[in-house]
Amino acid sequence: MSEASPYQPAILVIDDEVQIRRLLRVTLEANGYRVWEAATGSDGIVQTAQRRPDVVVLDLGLPDLDGLTVLKRLREWSRVPVLILTVREADDEKVAALDAGADDYVTKPFSTVELLARLRVALRHAQPMPENAVFTHGALEVDLANRRVSVRGAEVKLTPTEYSFLRLLVRNAGRVVTQRQILTEVWGPKALEQTHYLRVYAAHLRDKLESDPTRPELILTEPGVGYRLTAPA
């Protein structure tokens, strides 16, 4: 019986520079990694959802979406380690990327030895990715990668605030999300006293998603505590 092949971590490189992608492919494959490439932010988001790489190497200067936007979109549904690779050296740029959920930051031109070391650290800190970036519960389907919500196959239009509220509930399906957590994540820390927002927007979501909004089965109120999206059976 032949021995099993050693596991090869998969790296998705999102960078519009052909030369950089070629350099990274040669370097990483020579060091035992599998490499996938995306030249745009949009393609990078799709490939992350479909391929589930072990680490994403992300350039901030992309032709369609700013790298920070791509990072924030990924962090809506994925904890895949993201290593920022860019020519931007300003401290505020680095802080913004780290605050948005990046795991590390390397500037161009870079040392391949340093890059490989940082990738090893990212892999050690990696958390398992969700099995699927699409949440399904009965007739409800929430495509977190593409920000699409549908009920019985028909797309449902949500406002940005309604979507943020729903996304938070989806990410915590089956668990109670407190009023404080919802207000902080959806409206910001200055909105902690605006608990009426929750009643209004929960009603909006029920009107759009529930079969009978007066007898909700998806979005439940936990009196005095918060809200819970029931978990799929």
Hey, what domains does the chain have and what are their CATH numbers?
A: 10-124 (3.40.50.2300), 134-229 (1.10.10.10)
pLDDT surpasses 90 at 201: yes
Residues 6+ apart with CB under 8 A from 118: 83, 104, 106
C-alpha distances (whole Å) from 44 to each of 23, 40, 54, 204 are: 18, 6, 14, 32
Task: Grade residue 110 by pLDDT with cuts at 50, 70 and 90.
Answer: confident
Residue of higher predicted confidence among 225 and 39:
39
Q: What are the structure tokens assigned to 170, written together?
A: 């989806």
- Mean pLDDT value of segment 22-32: 95
The chain-wide mean pLDDT, for the chain, equals 88
177 and 198 Cβ atoms separated by less than 8 Å: no
114 and 107 Cβ atoms separated by less than 8 Å: no
pLDDT surpasses 90 at 36: yes
d(CA 70, CA 105): 15
- Mean pLDDT value of segment 37-58: 94
Task: Grade residue 1 by pLDDT with cuts at 50, 70 and 90.
Answer: very low
Task: Grade residue 44 by pLDDT with cuts at 50, 70 and 90.
Answer: very high
Q: Tokens 């309604």 sit at which residue?
A: 162
- Look at the pTM and tell me if it is higher than 0.75: no
pLDDT surpasses 50 at 5: no
pLDDT surpasses 50 at 218: yes
d(CA 3, CA 136): 39
158 and 164 Cβ atoms separated by less than 8 Å: no
Task: Grade residue 41 by pLDDT with cuts at 50, 70 and 90.
Answer: very high
